[in-house]
């Protein structure tokens, strides 16, 4: 029931914007989504299952944005700059993405354990959500490795793969520092461009 599942996740995300996660009621999420409470429980199993699915969806959305940034036209520097800008903007607009990237989960947010939990769900998407969730370190590695994989062909003839890996990780970590302490004029893009200007890309 993919449409109902997405509607329920949308309703949970909207509810979370209005009140702390402990005050979000399953019956209200189901009513907002226009489905029965039984449908909600069939999809997610419990409120913890709903929380895990919501965090998984927001992580997947963040990583899809990374893919779009890396696929944008431009040279390696511009695509890495777009990656950093997406990271900063996604974290600024989405408290769950910010928590995943920083590891700082407030009491307003669901805070599911990052390790996988036993799953008896018949719903494949829920079994995936019940698996391990990415830690901040996992996200840094995922973004770095994806950037290296995408950009390796465009810079291979010019230099060392280790330098590309270091540059990609530096950009990800610089973007994360901007999430914690937003930069002034010029934003993350100016910072990244100034750092990459010195890199052999």
Q: Is the dihedral of CA 14, 96, 127, 147 positive or negative?
A: positive
Residue with tokens 């189901």: 30
Whether 157 shows a pLDDT value over 50: the answer reads no
Closest CA to 167 of 190, 144, 143: 144
Over residues 108-130, the mean pLDDT reads 93
- Residue pair 80/195 in contact by the 8 Å Cβ criterion: no
Q: Which residue has the higher pLDDT, 120 or 147?
A: 147
**Per-residue model confidence (pLDDT) at position 156:** 52
Whether 159 shows a pLDDT value over 80: the answer reads no
Q: Which residues contact 34 (CB under 8 A, 6 or more apart)?
A: 7
- Residue pair 90/182 in contact by the 8 Å Cβ criterion: no
- Please classify residue 118 by burial: count the beta carbons closer than 10 Å to its beta carbon, then call 0-12 exposed, 13-18 middle and 19+ buried: exposed
Distances (CA, A) of 23 to 11, 57, 178, 190: 14, 21, 31, 40
> Mean pLDDT score of the chain, rounded to an integer?
92
Whether 160 shows a pLDDT value over 70: the answer reads no
Whether 43 shows a pLDDT value over 80: the answer reads yes
Question: pLDDT category, 104, cuts 50, 70, 90?
Answer: very high
Whether 54 shows a pLDDT value over 60: the answer reads yes
Answer yes or no: pTM beyond 0.75.
yes
Over residues 102-117, the mean pLDDT reads 93
Q: How many CB atoms lie within 10 A of CB 19?
A: 12
Question: pLDDT category, 120, cuts 50, 70, 90?
Answer: confident
């Amino acid at each position: 029931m993919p449409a109902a599942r997405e509607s329920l996740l949308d309703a949970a995300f909207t509810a979370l914007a209005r009140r702390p996660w402990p005050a979000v009621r399953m019956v209200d999420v189901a009513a907002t989504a226009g489905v029965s409470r039984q449908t909600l429980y069939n999809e997610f199993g419990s409120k913890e299952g709903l929380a895990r699915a919501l965090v998984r969806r927001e992580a997947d959305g963040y990583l899809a944005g990374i893919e779009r940034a890396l696929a944008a036209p431009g040279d390696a520097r511009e695509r890495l700059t777009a990656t950093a800008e997406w990271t900063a903007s996604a974290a600024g607009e989405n408290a769950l993405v910010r928590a995943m990237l920083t590891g700082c989960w407030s009491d307003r947010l669901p805070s599911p354990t990052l390790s996988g939990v036993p799953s008896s769900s018949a719903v494949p998407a829920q079994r995936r959500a019940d698996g391990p969730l990415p830690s901040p370190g996992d996200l840094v590695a995922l973004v770095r490795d994806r950037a290296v994989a995408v950009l390796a062909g465009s810079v291979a003839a010019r230099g060392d793969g280790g330098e590309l890996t270091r540059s990609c990780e530096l950009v990800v970590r610089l973007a994360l520092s901007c999430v914690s302490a937003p930069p002034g004029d010029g934003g993350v893009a100016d910072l990244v461009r100034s750092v990459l200007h010195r890199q052999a890309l």
